[in-house]
Amino acid sequence: MPSDATPDPYADPLRFGQRVQILRERRGMTQAQLADLVGLSPHTLRKIENGQQKAPGLGLVLRIAEALRVRNLSDLTGHPAMDVALFTGPGHPRLAAVKAAVDSFALSSSAEPPPVAHLEARLHAAWKARHAAKNHREAIGRLLPDLIRDGQVLVRQAETASERRQAQALLAETYSLSQFFIAYQPDAALLWRVAERGMVAAQDSGDPHAIGVAAWLLAQAHRDSGRQHFDAADAINREAVRFLEPLLPDASDEVLAIAGALEFELGYTAARRRETGTAWGHWDKARAMAGRLPGGYVHPVTSFGRAIMGAHAVTVAVELHQGGESVRQAAKADTAVIKSRPRRARHRIEEARGYQLDGQPDVAVASLEKAFEAAPETIRYNGYARSILLEEVESTQAARRRRASELAVKVGILAA
C-alpha cells in the first residue's frame, strides 16, 4: 500500500476523532460543513478530531453518523459490540426474488406476452396495494417478480414501434415500483440498476409522464447517495423540469403533478445544502403547481397534490435544521388528508425529526409511534427514525427510555 494511502477507519487502533476525520474527508466534506450539519462549532469538531476532546455522547455520535451516512454504528465507534445498522434497513425476505427478476435476461423466450391492458391493470392494482398496506414492501414484493418478467417480455416481443413505446412505458413504471421496494435495503447496486433501467425505458417510450417519474426517482437515488451527488441530482431534476415545461399549459393532471414533484425535489436538495431562500422558493413554485390540480387529486407514484404540500413544508424546515419552524409547519399540516399509508408514516417521521430538533423528544417518540401505526415497514427502513430511537433508548428519563425501547423492539432495532 502506498505510504500516502488513506488509512482504514475501521482498523484498530484508531481514535473516534480519527475515524470522524477520515470518513468526513472520504465524503468530501470540510470541518465547517460537518460542524454545521451536526450543530457544533468548527472549533469543537476540530478538537474532537484531534483527540483534544473526549468522544461525545450517543446523541451527537448518531448525528455525526447521520451526516456522514455511516451504515453501521460500529464503523464510526470502532466497537464491534455496537453492531447496529443505521441507514440501511434489513433485507426484505422477498428481495432475492425481486433481484433475480431484475437480473434475468432471457435472450430467447417462448413466453406469451401479457395483454397490455392486463399489465396496466396489474400495475394499477400494485400501486393501490402499496399505498393502502401497512407492510407495503411485502404487498408489492410478492407482485414484482412477475410484473418485471412480463414487462420485459412485452418489450422484447413488441412488433411495431408504437407497441414497443407503450411496452417501454409500462416497463419503466414497473421499475419505478421496484425502486420503492428496493430503497434503503442492503443492495445499493440493485437500486442503481433499477433506477437507470427505468430512465432508459422511459426515454425509449417517449412518454412525458414516464420520463418525469423516472427522473424523479433517479434524482433521489443520487441525492440519497451523499452530498457529493447533490449536483447530479439537481442536473437530472432541472433537465426533467425543462423537458416538461413546454407541455404544462395543456398538461394532464399526471404530467402537471410530476412536474410539481420535480420542482419540490429541487427545493429538498437545496434544503439539504442549507440554502434557505432557494429551498422555500422551489417549495412555493411546487405549491403553485399543486394549486392547479383538482382539490382531491393525488399523484399515484409521488403522492403529489395540494394535500401533500404541508408535509413537504415540514421536510424543508427539517432539512434546514429549523426546529421551531418544523414544529410550526407540522402543526399546520393535516396528516389526515395523506391517504397513502407509507407517505403518512414518512410525514410522521419528518415530524419526529422536527420535534427532536426543537428539543421535544417525548413528542418525537410519540410521532414515531404514529408512524409505526401507519406503516411499520416505513419506519423499519428509515434511518432517521432509527437514529432518534437509538438516542432515546439511552435517555435519562425512565418513561421516555421505556417508550422508545418498546418501539425499538417493534421496529427490530433492539432484541425483545
State the residue range of the domain holding 62: 16-82
For the segment 247-267, the average pLDDT, to the nearest whole number, is: 97
pLDDT confidence of residue 86: 58
Model confidence pLDDT, tens digit, residues 299-355: 999 999 999 999 999 999 999 999 899 999 999 888 778 999 999 999 999 999 999
Mean pLDDT of 248-262: 97
The single-letter code of the amino acid at 91 is G
Residue 48 inside a domain? The answer is yes
pLDDT tens digits along 353-380 = 999 999 999 999 999 999 999 999 999 9
Rounded to whole angstroms, how far apart are CA atoms 64 and 76?
9
57 in any annotated domain: yes
Most confident of 146-155, 183-192, 385-394: 146-155
Closest CA to 267 of 246, 290, 285, 293: 285
Region 162-182 average pLDDT? 97
**For the residues of 184-207, what is the DSSP string, one character each?**
TSS-HHHHHHHHHHHHHHHHHHT-
Of the candidates 142, 188, 149, the residue with the CA atom closest to the CA atom of residue 170:
149
Q: With bands split at pLDDT 50, 70 and 90, how would you rate the model's confidence at 279? A: very high
Mean pLDDT of 250-256: 96
Q: What is the pLDDT of residue 337?
A: 84
* pLDDT at 283 > cutoff 70: yes
Cα 93 to Cα 398: distance, rounded to the nearest angstrom: 35
Confidence tier at 221 by pLDDT (50, 70, 90):
very high
Task: Identify whether 266 is part of a domain.
Answer: no
- pLDDT reported for residue 83: 52
Closest CA to 7 of 17, 20, 28, 22: 22
Radius of gyration of the CA atoms of the chain, in A: 22
DSSP string for residues in 7-27: PPTTSSS--HHHHHHHHHHHT
Grid cell locating 139 = 404487498
In a domain, 213, yes or no: no
pLDDT at 1 over 60: no
pLDDT at residue 268 greater than cutoff 70: yes
Task: Give the model confidence (pLDDT) of 238-249 as tens digits.
Answer: 999 999 999 999
- Decide if 330 is inside a domain: no
In the chain, the largest separation of any two C-alpha atoms, in whole Å, equals 70
Q: Please check the confidence at residue 35 and state whether its pLDDT lies above 90.
A: no
Q: For all residues of the chain together, what is the average pLDDT?
A: 89
Contact between 285 and 263 (Cβ < 8 Å):
yes
Asked if 413 and 72 touch (Cβ cutoff 8 Å), the reply is no
- Asked if pLDDT for residue 191 goes beyond 60, the answer is yes
Helix, strand, coil percent values for the chain (each to nearest 5)? 70, 0, 30
**Residue 407 belongs to a domain:** no
Give the CATH number, domain containing residue 39: 1.10.260.40
What is the mean predicted confidence (pLDDT) over 44-53? 88
- The mean-pLDDT minimum among 49-53, 96-100, 109-113 falls in 109-113
Q: Which three cell numbers stand for residue 356?
A: 427532536
pLDDT tens profile 104-139: 877 766 778 889 999 999 999 999 999 999 999 999
Assigned domain for 127 exists:
no
Tens-place pLDDT, residues 56-81: 877 788 788 877 877 677 777 776 55
Q: What's the structural domain count of the chain?
A: 1
Q: What's the pLDDT at 58?
A: 75
Neighbouring C-beta atoms of residue 81, cutoff 10 Å: 8
pLDDT at 42 over 50: yes
What are the CA-CA distances from residue 263 to residues 175, 283, 365 (Å)? 22, 7, 31
Q: What is the pLDDT of residue 292?
A: 96
Angle among Cα 182, 187, 190 to the nearest 5 degrees reads 70
> What average pLDDT does the segment 8-30 reach?
73
Q: Is 155 part of any domain?
A: no
